[in-house]
Copies of this chain bind each other. A is one copy, B any other.
Amino acid sequence: MSQTTGARQAQKQLSRRALMDAALRLLEHQSFSGLGMREVTREAGMSPAGFYRHFRDLEDLGVALVEEAVDSLHAMIRAAFAEQGEPEGLIDHAVQVIADHVREHRVHVRFIARERFGGVRRVREAIAAELERFTAEVAEALAAQPVSARWSEADLRMVAELYVDHMVLTAAALQEADAESEQRITATARRQLRLISVGRRHWAVG
């Protein structure tokens, strides 16, 4: 870390946070490609020129948001896989972890869901790259499970992609749902995961 000294750097990063939080707040009601940088600085209580002390562009800020959002996602997936046990319990646990995560990081989840196929190239590619790392991690975890002991690498990846897509989609659905829809969504997600699980058990490996 290239810290010059304490108080200066600390205040700077506080302002940086203020900008990112302001952007996240604004992104609840619009997409990233519709965001203005005067809008962001205004929301953050900062003058327009101040923005350039922290980011070259708005896109720069977007990429920073992606990294932050996916960091918390990574922490989540590790938690979901940590708890080992019978497969059935693992599914319930994973869905619960997702629901908790969405409740705690709603704005981040919304951002990822919204911009995954959004209109800003650099942001979209940043998300794709992070989800790729993510998928690789899941594939590795799957390889360790007895169910998929003798599976080919390609098939492991295929299932990993299915899981990651399903997780992101479930998170996206939860993020814009009220309390009562949440029940319905998680219940469906559990059954879908169970269906996939059944498919895995009877997959003709080779």
Residues of A whose CB lies within 8 Å of any CB of B are 27, 29-35, 110, 113-114, 116-121, 155, 157-159, 161-162, 165-166, 169, 172, 176, 188, 191-192, 195-204
Contact between B195 and A200, CB atoms less than 8 A apart = yes
How long is the Cα–Cα vector from A120 to B203 in the complex, in angstroms? 41
How long is the Cα–Cα vector from A160 to B119 in the complex, in angstroms? 29
Please state the number of chain copies in the assembly.
2
Contact between B192 and A119, CB atoms less than 8 A apart = no
* Interface residue from B33, B176, B197, B204 paired with A33 (Cβ < 8 Å): B33
Instruction: Say how far A199's CB is from chain B's closest CB, in angstroms.
Output: 3
A198 with B202: in contact, given A27-B119, A117-B114, A172-B117 (CB under 8 Å)?
yes
Instruction: Say how far A135's CB is from chain B's closest CB, in angstroms.
Output: 11
Q: Which residues of B contact A200 (CB under 8 A)?
A: 195, 199
Contact between A118 and B31, CB atoms less than 8 A apart = yes
How long is the Cα–Cα vector from A157 to B192 in the complex, in angstroms? 10
Q: Which residues of B contact A199 (CB under 8 A)?
A: 195-200, 202
Q: Which residues of B contact A110 (CB under 8 A)?
A: 117
How long is the Cα–Cα vector from A121 to B201 in the complex, in angstroms? 41
Q: What would 16 A/B residue contacts be, using CB atoms closer than 8 Å?
A: A27-B119, A30-B34, A31-B33, A31-B119, A33-B34, A110-B117, A116-B117, A118-B118, A155-B191, A158-B188, A158-B191, A195-B196, A195-B199, A195-B203, A199-B200, A201-B202
* Interface residue from B29, B158, B197 paired with A192 (Cβ < 8 Å): B158
Instruction: Say how far A182's CB is from chain B's closest CB, in angstroms.
Output: 16
How long is the Cα–Cα vector from A58 to B135 in the complex, in angstroms? 38
Instruction: Say how far A72's CB is from chain B's closest CB, in angstroms.
Output: 18
How long is the Cα–Cα vector from A32 to B114 in the complex, in angstroms? 12
Residue of chain B at shortest CB distance from A27: B119
Q: Which residues of B contact A33 (CB under 8 A)?
A: 30-31, 33-34
Contact between B31 and A192, CB atoms less than 8 A apart = no
